[in-house]
Amino acid sequence: DTGVSQDPRHKITKRGQNVTFRCDPISEHNRLYWYRQTLGQGPEFLTYFQNEAQLEKSRLLSDRFSAERPKGSFSTLEIQRTEQGDSAMYLCASSLASAETQYFGPGTRLLVL
Partner 1 sequence: EDQVTQSPEALRLQEGESSSLNCSYTVSGLRGLFWYRQDPGKGPEFLFTLYSAGEEKEKERLKATLTKKESFLHITAPKPEDSATYLCAVEGNYGQNFVFGPGTRLSVLP
Nearest approach, Cβ of residue 83 and partner 1 (Å): 23
CA distance 107 to 52: 21
CA distance 40 to 65: 23
**Footprint on residues 45-74 left by partner 1 (CB under 8 A):** 45, 48, 55-56, 58
Nearest approach, Cβ of residue 102 and partner 1 (Å): 6
Candidate segments 12-20, 66-74, 79-87, 93-101, binder of partner 1 by CB under 8 A = 93-101
CA distance 11 to 8: 7
CA distance 73 to 35: 18
Residue numbers at the binding site for partner 1 (CB under 8 A): 4, 6, 33, 35, 40-45, 48, 55-56, 58, 91, 93, 98-107, 109
